[in-house]
Structure 1
Amino acid sequence: MTTVGCAYKLAEVLLSDSLPRRWAHTQGVAARARNLAPLVGDGAAGLEAAAVLHDIGYAPPLVDTGFHPLDGARHLRTLNAVDDRVVRLVANHSFALLEAEERGLRSDLADDFPLLDDPLLVDALVYCDMTTTPDGGCTTSEERVGEILGRYGADSIVGRFIRLAAPEIHASVGRVRVAADEAGLVP
C-alpha cells in the first residue's frame, strides 16, 4: 500500500531541486486529486499518490527511455512501498498509451503496466493533470492542450500525441466534471 506521505517525499526529492516547475505542477495536480477524494471514495489515497508521482519519470536520475510515464513507473515498480495500482496509474496517466505508440514503446508500456479497469480513477487522474498548469494553477483542458502544443510544437512527438489525445482528454475531463457536479463537488 502506497502512503501519500511517502509519495510526496519521493516526488519532492526527485523533482523539487532539479525540476522546480515540474514540482509546482505536481503539487497542483495532487491538490486537485485531494479535491476529488469524495468522488473516488476508496481510491482517494491511490489517486493522490499517483497524482504526486505521475511526473517523477522526468527526474534526471530516472530518465532511461525518455518517456516519463514508463521511466517513472519502472522506478516505482522497484520500490516495495508502492502499490501496483498506483504504478499502473502513473504509467498510463493522461492517455500515455497514445504517446507510447508515437515513440514505438506501446508494447513496452501495455505489457508491463496494463491499464486499470477503473474508468473513474483513470479519468480522475487525467482531469487532475490536464486541468493544472505547468506552474500548478488551475486551467481548462483546452487551454492545457494548447499550452502543451505551444511548448513542444505541433510536429514534435508530444505535439502529435496531444493532438491525437485531445478528444479523449476533453471527454475524460467532461466525465469528471459531470460526476463532480452530480456529487455536489467543486473540483
Structure 2
Amino acid sequence: MHGVPSLHELTVSSARSAASELLGGDVRRWAHVQAVARKAAEAARALGPAESELLVLTAWLHDIGYAEPLMGTGFHSLDGAQWLRQQGHERVACLVAHHSCASFEAALRGLSEVMATYPDEGTSVRDLLTYCDMTTGPAGQAMTMDERLADVRKRYGSDGVVTHALQAAREELLRQLTAAERLLADAQPM
C-alpha cells in the first residue's frame, strides 16, 4: 500500500510512529490512542517485561484499522489485524483483532469467518488492552465502562451495530475488566 509505513521491526517506538503517521491527522482518534497507550504503560507494571512491551505497543496499534489506507473490510479491528499480519506480527494482529470483544461486532457484520482466522489468546495482555480501551473515551478522557458504553450509544445511535455489539459483549467486557483490575490491584506500584 502506497504511503503506508512498514513495521518490519516492531517496538514501542515503531508502533507509536506508525500510529502517529496513520492516525495523527484525526485529532480525536489520535487523542484516544495516545491516552490508551499512556494507560497501557501504567498498567504494564502488572506484567513481565516482554508482555509489558507487547501491551504498550499493541495499545498504540489497537485502532490502526481506522486509517483510510488500511480499510478493507470496513471493520477497524480486522483491518488493523490484517495489516499487522501482512507485516509479520501475528500475535499483535490477534490482540488487535480481539480488543474490546471485537468478535461480537464481527459476528454482527458477517465477518465471523475472517475473525476466526485470528485466535483470541484470552491472556492478561488481552484483558489489560480491553481495560485500557474501554476506560478511555473517544477524546482520551478517563471513563468507566458504563460511561463508555453510554458514549458509544450516543455517538452511534441505539440501533448502531457498534452499540448492539457492545451490549451483547457486556458480560464478557465486565469479565475482562474485572480480571484486569485484579491484576492491577495485585501488582506492586512502580
Unaligned runs of 5+ in 2: 1-8
- Deviations, residues 102-147 of structure 1 (Å, cap 9, x unaligned): 0000111112x1111x421111010010000111121111111111
Task: For 2:180 and 2:54, locate their aligned partners in 1 and report how far apart those are by CA, in whole Å.
Answer: 17
- Give the aligned partner of residue 156 of structure 1: 160
Residue 14 of structure 1 corresponds to which residue in structure 2? 22
Q: What displacement does 1:64 show?
A: 1.3
The match for 1:76 among 79, 84, 108 is: 84
- Please, which moves more after superposition, 100-109 or 71-80? 71-80
1:114 aligns to 2:105 (yes or no): no
CA distance in 1, matches of 2:115, 2:184: 30
Which has the larger displacement, 165-174 or 66-75?
A: 165-174
Query: Residue 97 of structure 1 corresponds to which residue in structure 2?
Result: 103
Unaligned runs of 5+ in 1: none
Please tell me the residue identity of whatever aligns with 1:7: A
RMSD: 1.5
Structure 1 position 52, deviation (Å): 0.6
1:175 aligns to 2:183 (yes or no):
no
SS at match of 2:138: coil
Alpha-carbon contact 2:46-2:188 (below 8 Å) kept: no
Residue 20 of structure 1 deviates from its aligned partner by 1.5
Determine if the alignment matches structure 1 residue 128 to structure 2 residue 132. Answer: yes
SS at match of 1:139: coil
CA distance in 2, matches of 1:6, 1:183: 27
Determine if contact 1:2/1:46 at 8 Å carries over to the other structure: no
Separation in structure 1 between the aligned mates of residue 181 and residue 98 of structure 2, nearest angstrom: 21
Aligned pair partner of 2:40 in 33, 57, 64: 33
Q: Which amino acid aligns with 1:3?
A: T
Partner of 2:96, secondary structure, is helix
Question: What amino acid is the match of 2:44?
Answer: A
Contact 1:77-1:84 at 8 Å conserved across structures:
yes
The whole-number CA distance in structure 2 between the counterparts of 1:137 and 1:185 is 23
SS at structure 1 position matched to 2:10: coil
TM-score by length of 1: 0.91
TM-score (norm 2): 0.90
* Corresponding residue pairs, total: 181
